[in-house]
Amino acid sequence: MSGGADDAGDAGDTEDPEGSGPLDAFRRFFALERDVLVLSLAMFAFSLGFQMTNRYLPEYMVALGASGFVVGLFGTFGNVISALYPYPGGAVSDRIGSRYALTLFGLLSTLGFFVWLVAPRIGPIAVGGLTVEPWVWIFVGLVLAQAWKSFGLGATFAVVKQATDPSRLAAGFASTETFRRTAFLVGPVLAAVLIGLRSEFAVSFQFVLAVGVAFGVLGTLVQHVLYDASGDSIGDSFAGLDRIRRDLREMPDPLRPLLVGDTLVRFANGMVYVFFVLVVTQFFQVGLDTTVALGGFAYDVDLSPQAFFGYLLGVEMLVALLIMVPASKLAERVGLKPVVAVGFAVYAVFPVVLIYAPTLAGSALPLWAVMVAVFAFSGLRFAGLPSHKALIVGPAEQGTGGRVTGTYYLLRNTVVIPSAAVGGYLWDFVSPEVAFTVAAVIGVVGTGYFLAFGREFEAYA
């Protein structure tokens, strides 16, 4: 996040301090300055494309012949990218400005979606006595597809920081996050509809990927054509490893306990995140087969586990949309730290809730209803997201926001790198229950550490 606290201008003043519902978030969002509006439109397009595709990639890989452990390695590979991309992405953004940086990152992400689309048609290929399976190209595509999300992290934080008053950072992030998370709601539901068009998942998922490519093109065009680069703050050029070491030493002190707690929570989540879809589609094999009465008519609903998972993600995001703005308003009264801690706590316990809730519920509720309740609970973790971002961005200084954000995520995501491989090993060679339980224990430790040592941002104290 950028440091432009002094450059908040009128954008922060246009926000109505009273409204606290999702509709108020949209109203405040459209009152923000043009650059934040354009950025959020691009966020919507790329988030829609990424959420339609990324949450289903483990299932896609299994359909292409990958094992559970390979899925875990894929998650760890994603962690490597998440660790390596933000810092150079933030440095590039500080150096050349957000417009050109985000356009480049958008083109790369769109190409990544396309590689996923054509992956089944590329392999298997024999190379030097080795066979390159089609699922290998999912790794290649991720290198590209993650560009806008991770390379562009510093640029997106910088734009929001420049447009928001320091004491309203949580509300500012809540406005843009609400708009962005709407794509997280629409994307998986749209994917579920498209997946239902064909009985074979590997075929129906091609429709999803094609739409992802289209939204990548749209998002790139929107941000490049409409973004006004005249207000960009250009920082120093990237100075290599010495610059990284200096940024690590100069990381604001209030970020350190947040970083430790956040890293433990994210490590826990990283152990099991890529397996959420497999819990629904393979471990419990839960779909939805029921009859719905509406307007005097009865409709048969028959959803495959893959399609049902998309609707579960929609439930999760609906709860997130309803909770984020009220939580950010609450943060202005009670502080950022308690709200962030609630989000961490839900992150921490969700793995055991997901893996054990169906067993604990027994026959009291149908399995599909239990899953709906579980994913609704998962949506509560987003309550702390705007406050979490505000707690990171607050100490940043003007012209350094991209690097401060990049440094934070470089450290956090580097430690998190092996998490999915650890989870994949436990999933494949021990049991899914053990993998999810160990993850929950680590998450609880991280939440406890943040509660004990985390520091409040002064503007909210």
List the chain pLDDT tens, one digit each, 461 residues. 333 333 323 333 333 444 445 555 555 555 555 666 777 778 788 888 988 999 999 999 999 999 999 999 999 999 888 777 766 766 666 676 667 777 888 899 999 999 999 999 987 887 777 888 999 999 999 999 988 776 555 555 666 666 666 666 656 666 666 767 788 889 999 999 999 988 889 899 999 999 999 999 998 998 888 766 665 554 444 455 676 777 777 777 778 899 999 999 999 999 999 999 999 999 999 999 887 777 777 778 889 999 999 999 999 999 998 998 899 888 888 888 999 999 999 999 999 999 999 888 887 889 999 999 999 999 999 988 888 888 887 655 555 555 666 678 778 888 999 999 999 999 999 999 999 999 999 999 999 999 999 888 665 55
Let me know how many helices (H) and strands (E) the chain has, helices first.
20, 4
Q: At residue 434, what is the residue type?
A: V
Contact between 336 and 390 (Cβ < 8 Å): yes
Helix or strand (DSSP H, E) at 215 = helix 201-226
Handedness of CA 174, 175, 180, 182 (dihedral sign): positive
Please give the Cα distance from 392 to 402 (Å, whole number): 12
Instruction: Note the pLDDT of residue 347.
Output: 96
Please give the Cα distance from 371 to 381 (Å, whole number): 16
Contact between 294 and 44 (Cβ < 8 Å): no
Q: Strands 130-132 and 288-294, how do they pair?
A: unpaired
Token duo for residue 265: 């929570």
Please give the Cα distance from 264 to 140 (Å, whole number): 28
Instruction: Note the pLDDT of residue 402.
Output: 57
- Cβ within 8 Å of residue 261, ≥6 positions away: 344, 446, 447, 449, 450, 451, 453, 454
- Cβ within 8 Å of residue 432, ≥6 positions away: 275, 279, 283, 355, 426
CATH class for the region spanning 5-9+18-460: mainly alpha
- Cβ within 8 Å of residue 256, ≥6 positions away: none
Contact between 254 and 455 (Cβ < 8 Å): yes
Instruction: Note the pLDDT of residue 137.
Output: 95
**Cα 134 from chain centre:** 26
Instruction: Note the pLDDT of residue 391.
Output: 83
Residue closest to 224 by CA, chosen among 94, 44, 102? 102
In 10 A of CB 398, how many CB atoms? 15
Residue closest to 253 by CA, chosen among 391, 153, 386? 391
Q: Residue 303 in 3-state DSSP?
A: strand
Token duo for residue 125: 């290929």
Please give the Cα distance from 389 to 385 (Å, whole number): 6
Instruction: Note the pLDDT of residue 120.
Output: 92
Instruction: Note the pLDDT of residue 237.
Output: 47
HSE-up (13 A, CA, CB side) for residue 387: 33
Instruction: Note the pLDDT of residue 150.
Output: 65
In 10 A of CB 362, how many CB atoms? 8
DSSP label at 11? T
- Cβ within 8 Å of residue 426, ≥6 positions away: 271, 432, 434, 435, 438
Instruction: Note the pLDDT of residue 2.
Output: 33
- Name beta bridge partners: 290: 301
Instruction: Note the pLDDT of residue 360.
Output: 85
Please give the Cα distance from 131 to 116 (Å, whole number): 19
Which runs of E-coded beta strand occur in 105-224?
A: 125-127, 130-132
Please give the Cα distance from 366 to 370 (Å, whole number): 7
DSSP label at 21? S
